[in-house]
Amino acid sequence: MEKEKLREVEMVLDKIRPALREHHGDLRVVDIKDDEVYLQFEGGCTECPIVDTTVKEVVDIAIKGNLTWVKRVEISVPKHSIL
């Protein structure tokens, strides 16, 4: 993962994080490959009913709108199971 690209992505995420953290959530950069950014929701975001649509769209728009080199944003949401 290129340090400069990681720094740029983190700068954009830092603008989004306060809203996520209000709901005990966060985003983690998993990987950056060429023009693709891979993220993972954490904390409260993993249980949020709107994370798969609204929140993902906001993150996608924020990253692509600020970083012209990004062509694809993939965000995973870990699912927890209760045994």
> Could you give phi then psi for residue 23, rounded to 5 degrees?
-110, 20
| Average pLDDT value for the chain | 90
Average pLDDT value for residue range 11-38: 95
Report if pTM > 0.85. Answer: yes
Alpha helices in 22-82 (DSSP H): 56-66
H helix or E strand, kind and range, residue 12: helix 3-21
